[in-house]
Amino acid sequence: ILNVEQSPQSLHVQEGDSTNFTCSFPSSNFYALHWYRWETAKSPEALFVMTLNGDEKKKGRISATLNTKEGYSYLYIKGSQPEDSATYLCAPGSNFNKFYFGSGTKLNVKP
């Protein structure tokens, strides 16, 4: 089992603030890393799939980076909006079917 740590556990920001959170994982046996966004009363939805050291992915105002050598990934949200309020989960994997989820960062964006 991979020990996955996400920080912070929760975050409260004002609309328009930019924010970032961290996902840390053991750097050995790395296969890929997924980021998911989970809004209340909905299903978790995939944001990014990252595989290579130095990967950077972007979707609108949200971007992510990956460092497999040191075992971390950052998720950035630029100019947070209330609709960004959700729990963000990272899931590094050691093979194609073994992905281990962190406990998530719960983001609340106040209007």
Q: Determine if 89 is a binding residue for other proteins (CB under 8 A).
A: yes
HSE-CB of 20 using CA atoms within 13 angstroms: 10
Other Cβ atoms closer than 10 A to 1 = 6
Q: Determine if 21 is a binding residue for other proteins (CB under 8 A).
A: no
Omega before residue 8 within 30° of 0, cis = yes
When binding is defined by CB under 8 A, the residue of 19, 25, 32, 64 that contacts other proteins is 32
Q: Which amino acid type is present at position 35?
A: W
Output 71 or 102, the one with its CB closest to other proteins. 102
When binding is defined by CB under 8 A, the residue of 71, 84, 99, 109 that contacts other proteins is 99
When binding is defined by CB under 8 A, the residue of 1, 14, 60, 111 that contacts other proteins is 1
Q: How many helices (H) and strands (E) does the chain have?
A: 0, 11
- Phi-psi group of 54: left, alpha or beta (phi > 0 → left; psi -120 to 50 → alpha; rest → beta): left
CB of 14 to other proteins, least distance (A): 26
Q: 33-72: which residues touch other proteins (CB under 8 A)? A: 34, 36, 41-46, 49, 51
Other Cβ atoms closer than 10 A to 39 = 13
Contact footprint for other proteins (CB under 8 A): 1, 4, 31-32, 34, 36, 41-46, 49, 51, 89, 91, 96-104
